[in-house]
Amino acid sequence: MALPKIATPQYTLKLPSTGKNIKFRPFLVKEEKLLLMAMETSDENSTIETIKQIIKDCTNITVPIDSLPTFDIEYIFLKIRSKSVGESSKVLLTAPDDGETEVQVEINLAAIEISEDDEHDKTIKLSDTMGMVMRYPSLDTFVKMNITGDDERDEITQVFDLASDCIDNIYDENQVYPGSDSTKQEKIEFLEQLTSEQFQKVQKFFETMPKLMHDVEVVNPNTNVTSTVTLEGLASFFG
């Protein structure tokens, strides 16, 4: 005899990058098991692939998960996690006042939102007639740059690689040049023509991107000093 199916609750969240509502459900025991197994291997790529699979299975998102910005993926997973195994998480933080005392802090995951900078803009004006429209780096791009990339590459090379991957289009007074119509090398060569002031605008795009961020108070039990610690990125919210 077939056993009955257990109804799974459905929730709604607003996708940070587009403002569109999506539906999601908590992950199931079998999915939690896969995540725990991936995390136990300490293989970051394996953990990331598992997170993406969970998001695909637990939401009604129709676009490829790989195309979502990093902050979308982090936010969606945080909300799925909070509805799956509890809306609080305990993490160990180092008290800033002495730089060594570890303090356990309980974080309300339901209160964490995406932080947006008022000065952030996807359109970068290079002159009165020319500019660039950027797109957000996908999680795969982020992983390539920060985990699987060559650690010996200098920082400026990594910035050029990331920026070239994120050019949606370049425009002037005559036409729009889609980034997909140019090779990576062509886009890097275009970036190399920029002045320092123009390139700082490109860097500002990445520096001011929306991000998962939350301030928590840490009380040092040895000094009774209360400090504010800013947590940033998905890994910061789990012990």
Residue range 160-180, pLDDT digits in tens = 888 999 999 999 999 999 999
pLDDT value of residue 52: 86
Q: How confident is the model at residue 147 (pLDDT cuts 50, 70, 90)?
A: very low
Q: Which long-range contacts (CB under 8 A, 24 or more apart) does 62-69 make?
A: 66/138, 66/139, 66/140, 67/138, 68/17, 68/138, 68/139, 69/16, 69/17, 69/136, 69/137, 69/138, 69/139, 69/209, 69/210
Does position 211 have pLDDT exceeding 70, yes or no? Answer: yes
Helix (H, G, I), strand (E, B) or coil at 114: strand
Does position 152 have pLDDT exceeding 60, yes or no? Answer: no
Residue 176 main-chain phi, psi, to 5 deg: -110, 135
pLDDT value of residue 142: 63
Question: Is the pTM above the cut of 0.85?
Answer: no
Cα–Cα dist 140/147, whole Å: 10
